[in-house]
């Protein structure tokens, strides 16, 4: 790999942890971190085929000459996040960057959404990232070093869309989690920022290929196309780079092809 002319995006020597690396955006962020020079630990959210997908990402990271390893982290449980995060930090010898990439989509009418479903959507999308912030900050403080946290959410957290109430509320909660947490942990040298995804090409759960209205929704983006996973990674690198973003915290950056700006 050629050495970039600018050192602003250089993550050489940094230790990153990407949680939810089995998701396309998680995998893309892990690859981008590795390309920028970081060693990247990966955590799958479930101990099933997610681990297989995560190991594939691990091999890609290793092929770039970086250290990598795969873990399983049950982000539904704060205690599991705490224990697993501590173990990972111990094994990789420190921690500089944490990216959180859970995504559990549900779309059904309010009146048919059960208590359990609401709770699960909040747990998977919001509580998970709350726990990740809590314990990433704990590790950074314990190591007495600055740290970067990148959370991921959806533009659905900024706008209303029928049938997505629970998911939209969770995504909106993450947006304000970024703002509040950033202010709270800033004195410790920890920066927290968010990436809000628009209509991405892997999101067949919300953009069903056979749904004509969903295909029309894609045309609501200024760029008139779905986003790709590789278009998420560079922003995560930017937000995780000590030299590029020393003075940016508590902000949400959409990767949505201009969707939120469309009238």
Q: Which residues of this protein are in contact with another protein, per CB under 8 A?
A: 105-108, 117, 155-156, 159-164, 205-208, 211, 213-214, 216-217, 220, 222, 258-263
Query: Residue 47: how many CB atoms within 10 A of its CB?
Result: 10
Cβ-based nearer residue to another protein, 83 or 161: 161
Choice between 140 and 167, CB closer to another protein:
167
Query: How far apart are the C-alpha atoms of 180 and 70, rounded to whole Å?
Result: 30
Q: How far is CA 137 from CA 32, 40, 190, in A?
A: 23, 18, 7
Q: How far is Cα 233 from Cα 235, in angstroms, rounded to an integer?
A: 6
- Least Å distance, CB 206 to another protein, is 5
Task: Give the residue with the Cβ less far from another protein, 36 or 171.
Answer: 171
Q: Quote the least distance from Cβ 4 to another protein, whole Å.
A: 32
The least distance separating another protein from the CB of residue 55, rounded to whole angstroms, comes to: 25
Residue closer to another protein, measured from CB, 96 or 256: 256
Q: Which residues of 142-156 are buried (b: 16+ CB within 10 A; e: fewer)?
A: eeeeebbbbbbbbbb
- Of 215, 180, 204, 211, nearest to 194 by C-alpha is 180
The CB-of-160 to another protein minimum distance in angstroms stands at: 4
- In the three-class reduction of DSSP (H, G, I as helix; E, B as strand; rest coil), residue 146 is classed as coil
Among residues 29 and 106, whose Cβ is nearest to another protein?
106
| Residue 257: CB minimum distance to another protein, A | 12
Give the DSSP H/E element, type plus range, for residue 87: helix 78-92
């Amino acid at each position: 790999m050629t050495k970039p002319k600018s050192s602003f995006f250089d993550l050489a020597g940094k230790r990153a942890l990407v949680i939810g690396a089995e998701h396309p955006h998680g995998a893309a962020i892990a690859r981008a971190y590795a390309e920028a020079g970081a060693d990247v630990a990966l955590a799958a959210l479930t101990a099933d085929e997610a681990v297989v997908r995560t190991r594939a990402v691990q091999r890609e990271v290793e092929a770039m000459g970086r250290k990598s390893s795969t873990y399983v982290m049950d982000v539904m449980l704060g205690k599991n996040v705490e224990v697993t995060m501590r173990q990972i930090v111990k094994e990789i010898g420190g921690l500089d960057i944490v990216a959180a990439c859970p995504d559990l989509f549900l779309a059904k009418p309010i009146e048919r959404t059960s208590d359990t479903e609401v709770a699960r959507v909040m747990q998977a999308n919001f509580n998970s990232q709350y726990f990740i912030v809590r314990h990433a900050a704990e590790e950074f403080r314990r190591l007495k070093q600055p740290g970067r946290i990148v959370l991921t959410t959806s533009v659905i957290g900024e706008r209303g869309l029928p049938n997505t109430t629970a998911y939209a509320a969770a995504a909106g909660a993450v947006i304000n989690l970024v703002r509040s947490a950033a202010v709270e942990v800033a004195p410790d040298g920890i920066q927290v920022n968010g990436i809000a995804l628009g209509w991405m090409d892997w999101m067949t759960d919300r953009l069903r290929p056979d749904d004509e209205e969903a295909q029309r929704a894609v045309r609501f983006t200024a760029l008139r196309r779905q986003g790709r996973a590789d278009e998420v990674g560079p922003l995560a690198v930017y937000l995780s780079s000590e030299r590029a973003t020393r003075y940016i915290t508590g902000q949400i950056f959409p990767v949505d092809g201009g969707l939120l700006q469309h009238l």
